[in-house]
Amino acid sequence: MAGLDAHAPPLAGVFAAVLTPLTAERAVDHRTLAAHCRWLLANGCDGLSVLGTTGEANSFSVEERTDLLDRLIDSGIPADRLLPGTGCCAVPDTVALTRHAVARGVAGVLMLPPFYYKSVSDDGLFAAYADVIEGVGDARLRIALYHFPQMSAVPLGAALIERLLARYPGTVVGIKDSSGDLAHMTRTTHAFPDLAVFSGSDTEFLPLLREGGAGCITAVCNVGCHLAAEVYAHWRTGRAENANERLANLREAVATYPLTAALKAILARHTGHAGWRFIRPPLMPLDDAQATELFALLDAAGFAPPPP
Amino acid sequence: MAGLDAHAPPLAGVFAAVLTPLTAERAVDHRTLAAHCRWLLANGCDGLSVLGTTGEANSFSVEERTDLLDRLIDSGIPADRLLPGTGCCAVPDTVALTRHAVARGVAGVLMLPPFYYKSVSDDGLFAAYADVIEGVGDARLRIALYHFPQMSAVPLGAALIERLLARYPGTVVGIKDSSGDLAHMTRTTHAFPDLAVFSGSDTEFLPLLREGGAGCITAVCNVGCHLAAEVYAHWRTGRAENANERLANLREAVATYPLTAALKAILARHTGHAGWRFIRPPLMPLDDAQATELFALLDAAGFAPPPP
């Protein structure tokens, strides 16, 4: 991890929004998950954001989520490379998941706001985050906020971020911005120099680095982390353009389909493990025609993930 | 309950989307909730839909929700008058809540679709509902679907409803339509004569009854159930107009403010129990100026709830 400090690694670099492989009964396939995480760390990921949107976090119970994290860390994945998602609709659930993750020594947590109620006030969102931070009550807590208006339908605005940073400096340390809006990410980066701003998509990764962004946390990194790592290694020198273009092409092909299903199909093909295609409703696997079409797009672009 | 059959009360009539009173620590205030439910049943409610949107369901953990239902039934509220909300983002949570509610003998459950992922397919929503129904595996299960596109951002369309009714007749028996779109509710009512269609707002209640609707499940019934009951008692005779107009005026005044907070403020004033105003983030209580304004609107309209 660039600029790594042994005692408190800064949140920066390339993070995969890690997929959650499932068994035929659609339970978590812990063994395949651990293997995938090892592969991601060996192929360019600085960190692993498990249990986010791509990881189908909100399709799992609190118990399934704590169990996933326990078994992943117990399998040898370093806790300080992990940035698990812990934001739920209910503050008690967010507190439980966050407290557990901090106790296990994670680098930080990625935290959606409560997302059922819409058009809520900044006062209400501030109170929810404050209840979580004070409910967890642990100085080791490091939060990356999660701004994903298209999915959560609960945007996190600049005024709210400013209040949180003022009240909880050193605790609120980052934000994942999945808006896809580079201008918005750039404004956030410039307005809050102490905040680590991560692009939630690959397209904005390189331009955001140039504006002072901290890195990316993306779904496509599940298969293209080597490209993102190349961009991150060379972004200052101008030698990042080729990898960036290949990453953008990959993103474009994959995003033609529902992201999680498409990436699971690619990993099923790449690893030869057909079980990778299992997914929890309301998401559905790609059908065979879609998968064939997607693979043709990738082959035409000359894309292949690093060897399993 | 109109047309009540001792063995299987049909889902019909006036249901309150019951508020959840809280303690100063924002835990559930079980004693006040039971008293409120008794008052609602004594003042015109045929049934009680606890733990819906108005009841802040998604701000509580699965454990808090099962505990609420247990203690409410143990306090003497008849289980067969209850229609608790049980739909969560994660199918295992929905299964756990639904299985528990059915085991306690509820009239039915109100079930949101998984609502984190947006733009999901009908195949995915069908699979999610199917997983819940088969996971619960209890012939006593009666589901009212919950269509609330403005809040869940996951609409339930006619093609999905048709598939669910074909596959699970006698289990999927109703729908709460909170779209506020009378034409939409009317189409659903006409298309599915066996489905009990409930209006999620007071304004569409009387017109929907005239189109064959089953009743209403509304937030405003927490203070205006006596008016809704009068509408329901007389809608066939033309003597419902006066109550309907008073109900519409009440709705208009309350809906000027965030609904749950406004209704809690009204009950705080009405019962003299200031604790009624506690609410969980991300929702916030009305401030004093808003409450004063709201009370002035209600007083001008000559509205007062039945005596506590």
Peptide bond into A282 cis (omega under 30): yes
* Cα B304 → chain centroid: 22
C-alpha to C-alpha distance for B186 and B190, rounded to whole angstroms: 6
Give the confidence band of A3 by pLDDT, cuts at 50, 70, 90. very low
Per-residue pLDDT averaged across B18-34, rounded? 98
B contact test, residue of A63, A120, A280, A286 with most B CBs within 10 A:
A280
Record: contact B92-A60, CB cut-off 8 A: yes
In this complex, is the C-beta atom of B93 within 8 Å of any C-beta atom belonging to chain A? yes
Handedness of CA B52, B54, B55, B61 (dihedral sign): positive
Asked if residue A56 belongs to a domain, the reply is yes
Of A149, A158, A46, nearest to A107 (Cα)?
A46
Q: What is the pLDDT of residues B134-177, one digit of tens each?
A: 999 999 999 999 999 999 999 999 999 999 999 999 999 999 99
Asked if residue B39 belongs to a domain, the reply is yes
Chain A residues in contact with B95 (beta carbon < 8 A): none
Name the packing angle between helices A158-167 and A182-191 (round to 10°): 30
Asked if residue A8 belongs to a domain, the reply is no
Chain A residues in contact with B96 (beta carbon < 8 A): 61
Asked if residue A259 belongs to a domain, the reply is no
A1: pLDDT strictly greater than 60: no
Alpha-carbon Rg of chain A, whole angstroms? 18
At A2 the pLDDT is 36
C-alpha to C-alpha distance for A252 and A263, rounded to whole angstroms: 12
At B9 the pLDDT is 59
Give the confidence band of B3 by pLDDT, cuts at 50, 70, 90. very low
Closest by Cβ to B283, choosing from A53, A60, A117: A117
Chain A residues in contact with B125 (beta carbon < 8 A): 281-282
Record: contact A60-B113, CB cut-off 8 A: no
Map tokens 């490209």 to a residue. A227
Q: What is the pLDDT of residues A212-261, one digit of tens each?
A: 999 999 999 999 999 999 999 999 998 999 999 999 999 999 999 999 99
Q: Say if CB A84 and CB A50 are below 8 A apart.
A: yes
Q: Say if CB B102 and CB B138 are below 8 A apart.
A: yes
Q: What is the pLDDT of residues B40-90, one digit of tens each?
A: 999 999 999 999 999 999 999 999 999 999 999 999 999 999 999 999 999
Name the packing angle between helices A288-300 and A259-271 (round to 10°): 70
Handedness of CA A128, A47, A52, A244 (dihedral sign): positive
Q: Compute the nearest-CA separation of B115 from chain A (Å).
A: 8
Asked if residue A249 belongs to a domain, the reply is no
In this structure, what DSSP letter does residue A46 have? S
Q: Residues of A numbered 202-221 whose beta carbons fall under 8 angstroms of chain B's beta carbons: which are they?
A: none
Q: Say if CB A11 and CB A213 are below 8 A apart.
A: no
Percent of chain A exceeding pLDDT 70 equals 97
Asked if residue B183 belongs to a domain, the reply is yes
Half-sphere exposure of B61 (CA within 13 A, CB side): 16
Domain range enclosing B30: 13-239
A contact test, residue of B26, B63, B280, B290 with most A CBs within 10 A:
B280
In this structure, what DSSP letter does residue A204 have? G
Asked if residue A149 belongs to a domain, the reply is yes
Asked if residue A94 belongs to a domain, the reply is yes
Give the confidence band of B10 by pLDDT, cuts at 50, 70, 90. confident
Per-residue pLDDT averaged across A149-172, rounded? 97
At A181 the pLDDT is 97
At A238 the pLDDT is 85
Q: Compute the nearest-CA separation of A19 from chain B (Å).
A: 15
Per the residue annotation, which of B20, B176, B186, B218 is the catalytic one? B176
Per-residue pLDDT averaged across A282-291, rounded? 98
C-alpha to C-alpha distance for B208 and B176, rounded to whole angstroms: 12
CATH number at residue B55: 3.20.20.70
Q: Residues of B numbered 24-83 whose beta carbons fall under 8 angstroms of chain A's beta carbons: which are they?
A: 53, 58-62, 64
Mean pLDDT of chain A: 96
Percent of chain A exceeding pLDDT 90 equals 96
C-alpha to C-alpha distance for B117 and A56, rounded to whole angstroms: 9
Q: What is the pLDDT of residues A106-141, one digit of tens each?
A: 999 999 999 999 999 999 999 999 999 999 999 999
Closest by Cβ to B64, choosing from A61, A92, A284: A92
B236: pLDDT strictly greater than 70: yes
Active site annotation includes B116: yes
Q: Say if CB B173 and CB B143 are below 8 A apart.
A: yes
At A9 the pLDDT is 58
Q: What is the pLDDT of residues B269-281, one digit of tens each?
A: 999 999 999 999 9
Record: contact B58-A92, CB cut-off 8 A: no
Q: Compute the nearest-CA separation of B135 from chain A (Å).
A: 12
Per-residue pLDDT averaged across B233-246, rounded? 95
Mean pLDDT of chain B: 96
Q: Compute the nearest-CA separation of B117 from chain A (Å).
A: 6
B8: pLDDT strictly greater than 70: no
Q: Is the ipTM of this complex over 0.85?
A: yes
What's the number of domains chain B is made of?
A: 1
Record: contact B90-A281, CB cut-off 8 A: no
Q: How far is CA A40 from CA A1, A34, A51, A79, B111, in A?
A: 13, 10, 15, 14, 38
